[in-house]
Amino acid sequence: MFDNLTERLGRVVKQLRGEARLTDVNIQDVMREVRLALLEADVALPVVKDFVAGVREKAVGEDVASSLTPGQALIGIVHRELTKLMGGAEASLDFTTQPPAVILLAGLQGSGKTTTAAKLARLLRQRKKKVLLASADIYRPAAIDQLRTLAGQVAADFFPSTPDQQPVAIALAAVDWGRRHYHDVLLIDTAGRLSIDEAMMREIAAIHAAVKPVETLFVVDAMQGQDAVNTARAFRDALPLTGVVLTKLDGDARGGAALSVRHATGAPIKFIGVGEKIDGLEVFHPERMASRILGMGDVMSLIEEVHKGVDVAEAEKFARKVKSGKGFDLEDFRAQIVQMRKMGGLSGMLDKLPAEIARAAQGANVDERKVAQLEGIINAMTPLERAKPELLKASRKRRVAAGAGVSVQQVNQLLNQFEQTQKMMKMVAKGGMQKMLRGMKGFLPGMR
């Protein structure tokens, strides 16, 4: 989402090459470019003005350390100001109340409230919380059924409601149920509209007054741009918001909402939605997001994804095979693809790498569909064929191709790629790391 902004800010830094210090003269030109970059990213004008003023105040006259260039010094200042703009520090949920701690989700229809409720329930379940989900959306067809289905997927309890009930009555009954059944957290999904209207605001304000939630989270679609800011202000005026959830942050919008909504609501961004899957919700770290915007990557989040997604026993088994250079078969090849997809796929991993590295890898044409296709081809083989690929002659290849819905040529391409991987592993086993690195272009599935 931040690719264009990252590229523009990178060009701004290059303008300062050769300068000994940051001065009024060189800062003026640079800040004009920063201002344009932020406006093009759909950041709200008041936010841009405050941000540029803050950076200029701290940058002018700053001495550049001998180990830094002026561009690097400016990046440090911009990084700190971006972090401050988005909240400064990670904001956590408040559970300091008599159970169940009520979390109320508010936002427009289509912002992703219902899916976010289930994703958040999943996160809280991982933290050993007993979670109850309830829907007070009596207007959208099948909204209640959707949340019931999602609750089942994340192994959370669901409080049943019907469209003929009143939203406030549903919310109060859910609180009572949660208290009597010893739930730690109650997540209430509320109704939205296609646009702001008085009836919706009165209703959600009434629910808030009735259940007195410890957290009132505003769920907003990051792809709305300037509209997200206007919506945020309306909800801020109607409710005492305690946090923001930005959804669809993996989309192709310009990203201005992420930088504007904190300023508009006064509430910290607590979570970000990064995909349609039920595990696509992350705790928001302002400092890490600032690093990603500036092209520094988010290596900490990548490490956390690796820890969550990697099967340690499988990884150790794979490491032994790499070390020995023997025994690596198509089953192991498939296992590596599965592990990679658990971590968000190649694109998800590249998104968290520093911009220069990510661009270099993207130049190798990463194709997520090709990765899934490779897994499908291997799945179409028998266990014996995966263990002994040399058995795959013409007739077997035709059967595998038909089973995976691909051509025989694509099966051959997979086998060739597998052979290259085997050769690289043997190089590693013999200490030939440099030779292996030269052949890395064909190593990652989906990269060519």
User: Is the same domain home to 243 and 284?
Assistant: yes
412-430 residue pLDDT tens: 888 887 887 777 766 655 5
Residue 230, in any domain of the structure: yes
The closest of 201, 177, 437, 428 to 320, measured between CA atoms, is: 428
The closest of 210, 162, 211 to 187, measured between CA atoms, is: 211
Give the whole-angstrom CA distance, residue 133 versus residue 186: 6
Q: Are 26 and 19 in contact (CB under 8 A)?
A: yes
Question: What angle separates helix 198-211 from helix 226-238, to the nearest 10 degrees?
Answer: 50
| Domain containing residue 59: CATH number | 1.20.120.140
* Candidate ranges 7-16, 152-161, 365-374; pick with highest mean pLDDT: 152-161
Mean pLDDT of the chain: 75
Domain that holds residue 363: 303-442
Whether residue 434 has pLDDT greater than 80 = no
Residue 438, in any domain of the structure: yes
Beta bridge partners of 246: 220, 272
Residue, of 218 and 26, whose pLDDT is higher: 218
Question: What residues contact residue 190 under an 8 Å CB cut-off, 6+ apart?
Answer: 104, 105, 106, 113, 136, 137, 167, 203, 204, 207
Residue 79, in any domain of the structure: yes
Q: Are strands 269-273 and 281-283 parallel, antiparallel or unpaired?
A: antiparallel
Q: 142-146, 223-227, 333-337, 432-436 — which is least confidently predicted? A: 432-436
319 falls in which pLDDT band (50, 70, 90)?
A: low
Residue 93, in any domain of the structure: no
Report DSSP state, residue 2: -
pLDDT value of position 119: 92
User: Is the same domain home to 111 and 240?
Assistant: yes
What's the angle, vertex CA 400, arms to CA 406 and CA 325, rounded to 5? 105
| Domain containing residue 426: CATH number | 1.10.260.30
Domain boundary residue, one of 250, 267, 296: 296
Give the whole-angstrom CA distance, residue 294 versus residue 340: 25
Burial state string for 72-83 with b = 16 or more CB within 10 A and e = fewer than 16: ebbbbbbbbbbb
286-296 residue pLDDT tens: 777 777 666 55
244: left (phi over 0), alpha (psi -120 to 50) or beta: beta
User: Is the same domain home to 378 and 402?
Assistant: yes
Number of domains in the chain: 3
Give the whole-angstrom CA distance, residue 292 versus residue 307: 20
Question: What residues contact residue 165 under an 8 Å CB cut-off, 6+ apart?
Answer: 138
The Cα-based distances of 262 to 88, 208, 242, 258 in angstroms read: 11, 21, 11, 7
pLDDT value of position 360: 44
Whether residue 441 has pLDDT greater than 80 = no
| Number of residues assigned to the chain | 448
The closest of 215, 249, 257 to 120, measured between CA atoms, is: 215
User: Is the same domain home to 310 and 437?
Assistant: yes
pLDDT value of position 79: 75
Whether residue 168 has pLDDT greater than 90 = yes
User: Is the same domain home to 314 and 433?
Assistant: yes
Domain boundary residue, one of 53, 85, 117: 85
pLDDT value of position 187: 94
